[in-house]
Amino acid sequence: MDHSISRRGEMVDAVDSKSTLGNKVLVRVRSPAMITECFVNHETFGFFILTFFEVGYMAIFNIHCDDPWFSYIRQGIKPVEGRKSTHTYKKIKVGDQIKFSNGKESFVANVTEIREYSTIEQYLEDVTLEKALPGVKSIEEGLNIYYEWTPEEKIRQYGFLGLFIKPV
C-alpha cells in the first residue's frame, strides 16, 4: 500500500507493507527542514480499511467504502458517515480530513462536525435516513445495512459516531 499526501510543504508517505512492524505501518513525514519517520497503527476490519496519518495539527484518515455510499458521499448526497466508535475513529476531530476510496477512485472530505450516539437507532433518528443512507426507506432496513458490517453487541460496547463531512 502506498499513499502520498501533501500539506503546506510536507509530504506524508505510508511506506509499503514490507515496512511493517506488527500491525503498524511506517510513515515518513518530509518537509523542507527535516524527515521524520514513525510507525502508526494500521487497522483492517471487514472490507473497511482505515489508515491514520498525523500531519501537524490536522489528521488525514483513509477510509474504504463501497458504492453506492462512496458515490453518495462524493456527490454531497450523503453528508454524514456513521462508524463504530472505536479508539481509532475517536481520534478523528473537526477540521481533519478523510480520504474516501472505493478501490478504484478516491476523494477528500473535510470533517465539519462529530456527534456521539449510544445506538445506531439514535444516530439514524437524529441525522435522518435521507442523510445517513440515501434511498433507504425504513429504520429497520438501515439497521440491517449497518449490522452487516458491525454486530449490534459491538455498537453497544463502543457506541456510534456520526462524522459530518463535506467533499473538497
**Strand-pair category, 10-14 with 160-167:** unpaired
Number of domain units in the chain: 1
The beta-strand segments (E) located in 17-144 are 20-21, 24-30, 35-45, 48-55, 58-64, 80-84, 97-101, 106-117
pTM: 0.67
- Dist. CA 23–CA 44, nearest whole Å: 9
- Dist. CA 156–CA 81, nearest whole Å: 18
* Mean pLDDT, residues 131-138: 96
Residue 161's CATH number: 2.30.130.30
Q: Where are the alpha helices (DSSP H) in 48-166?
A: 69-74, 87-90, 120-127, 129-132, 139-149, 152-158
Label residue 149 by pLDDT band (50, 70, 90). Answer: confident
Write out the H or E segment, with its range, that includes residue 11.
strand 10-14
* Mean pLDDT, residues 21-39: 48
* Mean pLDDT, residues 133-138: 96
The residue segments making up the domain with residue 25 are: 3-167
Burial 123-157, CB ≥16 within 10 A → b, else e: bbeebebebbbbebeeeeebbeebeeebeeeebee
Answer yes or no: is pLDDT of 68 > 70.
yes
- Dist. CA 75–CA 20, nearest whole Å: 35
For cell 490536522, the residue is 58
